[in-house]
Amino acid sequence: MESDLHQRMVKAILDIDEEETLRLTRKALEEGVPVERIIDSLSEGLREMGLLFEKGERYIPELVIAAEFVDKAFKILEPHLHREEAASGSLRDVRVVIATVEGDIHDLGKNLVATMLSAAGFHVIDLGKDVPAQTIVSKVKETNAQVVALSALLTTTMAHQEEAINLLVEERIRDKVRVIVGGAPASPDWAERIGADAYAENAMEAVRKLKEIISGDV
Amino acid sequence: MSEMTGTAKRPALSLLEEENIKEIYDAALRILEHTGVRIDNAEVLSLLHQNGVIVNFEKKVARFPQDLVSRCVKSTPSEVRIYSRDGKHDLLLKSNNVHFDPGSAAINILEEGVIRKPVTRDLERFVRVADYLEHIHAQSTALVVTDVPERFVDRYRLYVVLKNSTKPVVTGSFTKDGVHEMKRLLEVASGESDVSKRPMAIFDACPSPPLEWSDITSQNLLDCATSGIPVELVSMPLAGATGPATLAGSVLLHAAETLSGIVIAQLANRGTPCIWGGSPAIFDMRLGTTPMGAIETMMIDCAYAHVGKFLGLPTHAYLGLSDSKTVDSQAGFESALGITLGALAGINVISGPGILDFESCQSLEKLVIDNELCGMALRLMRGIHISRESLAEELIGEVGPGGNFLNKRHTLKWFRKEQLLPSIVIDRMTTSLWQERGSKTAYQRAREEVERILSTHEPEALPPDVERELDRMAEKWKPS
């Protein structure tokens, strides 16, 4: 019964059937399926979607739309999460401050990453675009974020990724956060050069890399 | 299906005004009447003679009354259906329907950087790949294999194609008795005793420029027509060598030769489907070669096709070929140009994908690359869909300044309809991803795609009794 529900949820997500996904989420709650099991099913659906995407069998709009309604399903579940569960090192407890750096108004990629991270269970704090390094660092301090994600589309603005990292060092909180960078001009080499912890090619990779890093940290 | 109620302007290329075409047609009629065509075949000459063509048997020259030629054009069907074995890949040759098939009868194959003579295995692999490719609509008997006695190669090639693919075939005979044997293969494969009922193949018949028909090709034309097999007339003047140096003169000579073929076919069997095809080229005045990738060659093709359309006939051309000897940038741009122009000219059968070295060499890698080009050309021909929904005025307002469209249902619904999704052959990766995946060139990706297709695609098998009968027929041609 439960495993049937699991499979139907995964299928609904792969079919990009929002209505069915939300309906099954509510139904599972009503039937008393443990919340963490429902989260597993939703995550599994997105994970499979991501695998298909990486194989070239699913496309960005499908990924984004599925991520958005899985996020809605999480919202349905949130009030039912026990306090202990919420605090027990789950991804919801990992706060990610994300921003497109100063001078750059291109936030499509950043929005994608924010959506995918949120759907994957991270607690995403999106500062928007054209965000000065100082604002980013202040927000990290204020929220005690564990992750900073920095996006830049232009070669002229990517230097601000480095600036933000330098500021984290100056403010002596660099060792408290993990930094991931992305955007068209960024590369693994660039990430290494400016002292970031990771580079992600796309939103799916950002999710995967952050999960790897976080699980190593915990 | 409300979104499909919109409109799309059909893109078109036109190199001739209608009055130019009339001028060309009238001039072709005068050439056929006053100069005539030499035909090296007594049976064809006597058929023509019996039907009012003025024949000088000593000189083997036939001169055609103008009204007879126009009557023959009128009795030629304006549309032809070529049947596929599985019923899913039929070609409907009419108006501006565009179809692609690989360039045919290559005498070489390029594999792993080596140009060599092809054998049966090469043709089998080629046909299986072409069977898979989405935008390659028909097969051709693409390679002249060298492990079969030369006098059997024409029929043996057709046997290999029929065994390994369900798609219709563009073929032809090299021998005087070829059509009879090949017809027999088609009867068995289609299960029809009358091959004209559900023709699964088109046969090429080529006049020899200027204004001649050889014994073999005119016999092939006659034999096809007698059986009602659709024929593709492939006139091939070389501008400046076996035809006038002018593009207009080439189109005119092409028209005269093609019309002579139509008369032979229609007099042999009224209503025989004839396709207004060709393989002209300019003549390279430095090297004495026949460039298929030259823009002028493509211009002659598109112009003669326009003449064929004016006469209400299905059309064909050799486009999508390259003169390059290797799968390089020249191979890509010449093929892309030919495929795009041919599609824009609305040519019904475009033969050429895969071909290098004028018309001499086939490449599986080029074939899979060209498949992408064909897909793009077909996408171009679908034009820009205009409807209330496709214009998306409300959506643009809803998303507003600074928003994005990726998470909209409208995007989900339309992106597949609007965008052609390419295979891995086309690189659209970021630099870092491309590097991560091995920094491969188009050729290398195509090589991998070929191997992937060969290891995963299994063409639909023939019914066992049909296969047995074809095998039995092929036994006498097969290499021992």
A184, closest residue in chain B (CA to CA): B430
What pLDDT sits at residue A82?
64
Q: B interface mutation test: which of A16, A57, A64 has the most B CBs within 10 A?
A: A64
Do the chains contact at A65 and B430, CB–CB below 8 Å?
no
Q: How confident is the model at residue A78 (pLDDT cuts 50, 70, 90)?
A: confident
Distance between CA atoms of residues B338 and B243, nearest Å: 21
Nearest CA in chain B to A205: B433
Closest Cα in chain B, distance from residue A2 (Å):
30
Full strand arrangement of the beta sheet holding A178-182: A123-126, A95-100, A147-151, A178-182, A198-199
Within 8 A by CB and 6+ apart from B447, the residues are: B365
pLDDT over threshold 90, residue A19: yes
Cβ atoms of A16 and A52 within 8 Å: the answer is no
**Separation between Cα atoms, residue B351 and residue B130, nearest integer Å:** 13
Contacts of B421 in chain A (CB under 8 A): 59
**Structure confidence at residue B479 (pLDDT):** 65
Interface contact A100, partner B, CB < 8 A = no
pLDDT exceeds cutoff 50 at B3? no
A131-168, pLDDT tens digit by residue?
Answer: 999 999 999 999 999 999 999 988 889 999 999 999 99
Q: Is the ipTM of this complex over 0.85?
A: no
Nearest CA-CA distance, residue A62 and chain B, Å: 6
Residue type, A183: G
Alpha-carbon gap, residue B65 to B59, rounded angstroms: 18
**Measured distance CA(B423)–CA(B434) in Å, rounded:** 15
Does the pLDDT at position A1 exceed 60? no
Q: Give me the mean pLDDT over the B294-321 stretch.
A: 98
Interface test with B, best of A17, A52, A55, A59 (most B CBs within 10 A): A59
Of A86, A150, A151, nearest in space to A121 by CA: A86
For tokens 């001009």, name the residue: A185
- Which two tokens mark B291? 């460039």
Nearest CB to A188 within list B412, B416, B432: B432
Task: Quote the percentage of chain A above a pLDDT of 90.
Answer: 63
Structure confidence at residue A88 (pLDDT): 44
Of all residues in chain B, the one with the smallest CA distance to A129 is B402
Query: What values do phi and psi take at B19, rounded to 5?
Result: -65, -30
Q: Would you say residue A90 has pLDDT above 80?
A: no
Q: Which of A120-124, B113-117, B259-263, B381-385 has the lowest mean pLDDT?
A: A120-124
Model confidence over B6-53: pLDDT tens digits? 999 999 999 999 999 999 999 999 999 999 999 999 999 999 999 999
Closest Cα of chain A to B385: distance in Å?
20
B416 neighbourhood in chain A, CB within 8 Å: 59
Half-sphere exposure of B457 (CA within 13 A, CB side): 21
pLDDT at residue B432 in the model: 83
Mutate to test the interface with A, among B416, B420, B432, B436 (most CBs of A within 10 A): B432
CB nearest B404 (choices: A16, A108, A184): A108
Coil vs helix vs strand at A100: strand
Confidence band (pLDDT; 50, 70, 90) for A36?
confident
What integer pLDDT is reported at residue B2 of this predicted model?
Answer: 45
For the segment B281-305, the average pLDDT, to the nearest whole number, is 97
The confidence score (pLDDT) of residue B455 equals 98
- The verdict on A72 touching B (C-beta cutoff 8 Å) is no
pLDDT for position B5: 80
- pLDDT score at A43: 87
Q: Chain B contacts of A65, Cβ < 8 Å? A: 407, 409, 412
Q: pLDDT tens digits, residue range B324-349? A: 999 999 999 999 999 999 999 999 99
Peptide bond into B210 cis (omega under 30): yes
Is it the case that residue B320 has pLDDT exceeding 60?
Answer: yes
Residues of B in contact with A112 (CB under 8 A): 406
Flag whether pLDDT at B4 surpasses 80: no
Helix, strand, coil percentages for chain A (3-state, nearest 5):
60, 10, 30
Q: Which residues are B63's β-sheet partners?
A: B54
Sign of the CA dihedral B286, B292, B293, B295?
Answer: positive
B160-186 tens-digit pLDDT: 999 999 999 999 999 999 999 999 999
| A-to-B residue pairs, Cβ atoms closer than 8 angstroms | 34
pLDDT band at B478 (very low <50, low <70, confident <90, very high): confident
* Average pLDDT of the residues in B264-281: 98
Burial class (CB in 10 A: 0-12, 13-18, 19+), B475: exposed
Q: What residues does B39 pair with on adjacent strands? A: B213
Query: What residues of chain B lie within 8 A of the CB of A187, using their CB?
Result: 431-432
Residue A89 has pLDDT above 80, yes or no: no
Give the gap in angstroms from C-alpha A186 to the nearest C-alpha of chain B. Answer: 9
Of B406, B409, B430, the CB nearest to A60: B406
Residue to mutate among B395, B405, B406, with most A CBs inside 10 A, is B406
Tell whether the model's pLDDT for residue A2 goes beyond 90: no
pLDDT in tens, B183-229: 999 999 999 999 999 999 999 999 999 999 999 999 999 999 999 99
Contacts with A111 from chain B: Cβ below 8 Å:
404, 406
Contacts with B56 (C-beta within 8 Å, 6 or more apart), sequence order = B36, B62, B63
Query: Using CA atoms, how far apart are residues B88 and A203, in angstroms rounded to an integer?
Result: 39
The confidence score (pLDDT) of residue A218 equals 57
Q: Quick one: pLDDT band at residue A50, thresholds 50, 70, 90?
A: confident
Of B415, B432, B433, the CB nearest to A59: B415
pLDDT for position A144: 95
pLDDT tens by residue, B445-474: 999 999 999 999 999 999 999 999 999 999
- Structure token digits, residue B16: 């001739």
Chain A residue with minimal CA distance to B405? Answer: A61
Q: Which residues of B touch A (CB under 8 A)?
A: 404, 406-409, 411-412, 415-416, 421, 424, 430-433, 436
B8: left (phi over 0), alpha (psi -120 to 50) or beta: beta
A65/B412 touch (CB, cutoff 8 Å), yes or no: yes
User: Are B291 and B323 in contact, with CB atoms under 8 Å apart?
Assistant: yes
Split at pLDDT 50, 70, 90, the class of A84 is: very low
| CB-CB neighbors (< 8 A) of B411 in chain A | 61
What is the pLDDT of chain B when averaged over all its residues?
96
pLDDT tens by residue, A165-218: 999 999 999 999 999 999 988 999 999 999 999 999 888 889 999 999 988 775
Q: Which of A61, A115, A199 sits opposite B412 (nearest CB)?
A: A61
Q: How far is B254 from chain A (nearest CA, A)?
A: 47
Instruction: Cite the DSSP H helix spans in A88-202.
Output: 108-119, 133-143, 159-170, 188-193
What's the pLDDT score for residue A83? 52
